[in-house]
């Protein structure tokens, strides 16, 4: 399909602005978690479901978009996502209890899953190869804009107008952007008749949901067989059945054979490890600063602003570096920097100075900026166009679900490791959690040294897909 430069740029930027608002809504809860806990009288273990459930539902929805993008036009998907998003924001803004707030977050996650996949499929299918790295870098800038803006803006809004106002603000922004998008968005993908495999979707959803529920229960129920191990076992069995089913279906729900592509497989694994620790840190750090150190929401947001600005600044530069030098050097630098940042986080105390917190967070954010978008671009660059929607669904879904897993896992570790309920005693639990996250970043560095950039990339062909 021939699309003019003006049309594809217009569509790209509308999707980009919608993605920024969606990212704001996703990350703003990190700052708002502490006041929500007080307002609704819930524990950190309960409150973290507002973060982890968003990632889980978004990840599952991304899987479904591999089918949706093939079946429906870009315009229909865009309008549907906007309706879902605005409904979710309205529910969250007016929530009178935790359940209603959680449902609102789930609606927002459903919409964000569609928008993220739609934007990336658009970049990887309608832009020429020499522009993809730069466009993904700009998209990375949008993803980085949320951590830059959300904590500080949310902190100021929460301290002055309450946490509900952050949802009202996001709703107003979304309505303004979507009113323009209604006239700009056109179909940019080729649609075809395809059948939705409901059973595969249920197996996959059940698998990831049960695993995350089991890990989430660990923090409150410890090693209870019923609450922890049984959900995890059910989840693993469901995922095994899902994978087995995909191998037998003539037209699978997800084209898992693209994992035969070495570069794509490594990119998926690396991205999951990256997000597992990244989203967990975004949950742990505000809890440390507000609930354990007594900082205001505004102060908490200001502490993270310099590092987030650094990520936003480095993301498009990382895209250009990738276009020129490839992925290996970026990964060696990025993984090393992230590991150092999380090691330093494991030494947090009740008296750690604010400038030190700013410095450590900035180190960590520099590593994220180097790796965030180049990983996806590298992993997707060897797939032919007809497999881009499957590849995008897989890589975005698994990394998002990994973020949910990381959140429930490391919040549970923090809860179990805490030496008491006093702030100083809880900080010990935070230290242990950050040691675990630093170990993940070390694993990321090992992957970079041993596996990334050792072989020339290849294009996945129909022969490989069909196993001929």
> What's this model's pTM, rounded to 2 decimal places?
0.72
* Nearest Cα residue to 320 out of 134, 194, 126: 134
* Nearest Cα residue to 381 out of 256, 264, 259: 264
* Nearest Cα residue to 151 out of 365, 354, 300: 300
Per-residue pLDDT tens digits of the chain, which is 468 residues long: 556 677 777 777 888 888 888 877 777 777 788 888 888 888 777 887 888 788 788 878 877 776 777 777 778 888 888 999 999 999 999 988 898 999 999 999 888 888 877 777 777 677 776 676 677 767 766 665 665 667 777 788 888 888 888 889 889 988 998 888 888 777 766 666 667 788 888 898 888 888 888 876 765 545 556 777 888 889 899 999 998 998 888 878 777 888 888 888 888 888 888 888 888 888 888 889 988 888 888 888 888 888 878 887 887 788 778 877 778 888 888 889 999 999 999 999 989 999 999 999 999 989 888 887 788 778 777 777 677 767 877 887 788 788 878 888 888 888 888 866 777 788 999 999 999 999 988 998 888 888 876 444 434 334 333 333
pLDDT value for 23:
77
3-state secondary structure at position 460: strand
3-state secondary structure at position 396: helix
Half-sphere exposure of 7 toward its Cβ, with a 13 Å CA cutoff? Answer: 11
The residue length of the chain stands at 468
Query: Is 428 exposed, middle or buried, given 0-12, 13-18 or 19+ CB atoms closer than 10 A?
Result: middle
The answer to whether the beta carbons of residues 216 and 52 sit under 8 Å apart is yes
CA distance 276 to 283: 11
Neighbours of 351 (CB within 10 A): 8
- Which phi and psi angles does 133 have, rounded to 5°? -60, -45
pLDDT value for 94:
92
Q: How far is CA 212 from the centre of its chain?
A: 15
pLDDT value for 89:
93
CA distance 148 to 145: 5
Beta bridge pairs of residue 71: none
CA distance 287 to 27: 14
C-alpha radius of gyration, the chain, whole number = 21
CA distance 209 to 305: 33
pLDDT value for 343:
93
Kindly give, in sequence order, each residue whose CB lies less than 8 Å from that of residue 405, ignoring residues fewer than 6 positions away.
52, 211, 212, 215, 276
CA distance 132 to 139: 10
């Amino acid at each position: 399909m021939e699309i003019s430069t003006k049309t594809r740029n217009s569509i790209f930027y509308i999707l980009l602005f919608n993605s920024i608002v969606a990212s704001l809504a996703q990350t703003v809860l990190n700052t708002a978690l502490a006041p929500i806990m007080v307002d609704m009288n819930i524990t950190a273990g309960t409150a973290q479901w507002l973060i982890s459930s968003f990632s889980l539902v978004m990840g599952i929805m991304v899987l479904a978009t591999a089918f949706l993008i093939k079946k429906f036009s870009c315009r229909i998907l865009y309008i549907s996502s906007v309706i879902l998003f605005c409904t979710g924001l309205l529910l969250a803004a007016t929530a009178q209890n935790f359940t209603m707030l959680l449902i609102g977050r789930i609606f927002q996650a459903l919409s964000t899953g569609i928008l993220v996949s739609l934007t990336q499929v658009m970049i990887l299918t309608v832009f020429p190869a020499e522009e993809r790295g730069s466009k993904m870098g700009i998209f990375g800038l949008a993803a980085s804009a949320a951590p830059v803006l959300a904590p500080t803006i949310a902190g100021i809004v929460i301290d002055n107008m309450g946490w509900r106002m952050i949802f009202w603000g996001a709703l107003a922004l979304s309505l303004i952007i979507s009113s323009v998008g209604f006239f700009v968005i056109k179909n940019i993908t080729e649609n075809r008749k395809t059948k939705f495999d409901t059973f595969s979707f249920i197996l996959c959803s059940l698998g990831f949901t049960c695993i995350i529920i089991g890990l989430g229960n660990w923090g409150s129920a410890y090693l209870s067989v019923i609450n922890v191990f049984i959900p995890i076992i059910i989840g693993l069995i469901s995922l095994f059945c899902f994978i087995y089913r995909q191998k037998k279906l003539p037209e699978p729900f997800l084209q898992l054979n693209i994992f035969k592509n070495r570069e794509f497989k490594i990119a998926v694994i690396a991205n999951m490890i990256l997000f597992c620790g990244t989203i967990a840190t975004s949950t742990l750090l505000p809890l440390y600063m507000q609930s354990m150190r007594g900082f205001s929401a505004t102060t908490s947001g200001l502490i993270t602003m310099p590092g987030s600005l650094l990520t936003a600044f480095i993301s498009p530069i990382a895209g250009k570096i990738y276009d020129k030098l490839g992925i290996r050097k970026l990964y060696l630098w990025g993984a090393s920097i992230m590991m150092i940042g999380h090691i330093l986080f494991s030494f947090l105390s009740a008296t750690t100075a604010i400038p030190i917190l700013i410095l450590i967070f900035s180190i960590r954010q520099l590593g994220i900026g180097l790796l965030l978008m180049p990983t996806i671009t590298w992993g997707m660059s060897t797939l032919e166009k007809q497999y881009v929607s499957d590849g995008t669904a897989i890589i975005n879904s698994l990394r998002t679900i990994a973020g949910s897993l990381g959140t429930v896992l490391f919040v549970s570790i923090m809860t179990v490791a805490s030496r008491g309920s006093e702030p100083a005693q809880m900080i010990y639990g935070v230290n242990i959690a950050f040691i675990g996250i630093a170990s993940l970043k070390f694993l990321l560095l090992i992957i970079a040294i041993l596996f990334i950039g050792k072989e020339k990339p290849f294009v996945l062909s129909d022969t490989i897909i069909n196993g001929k």
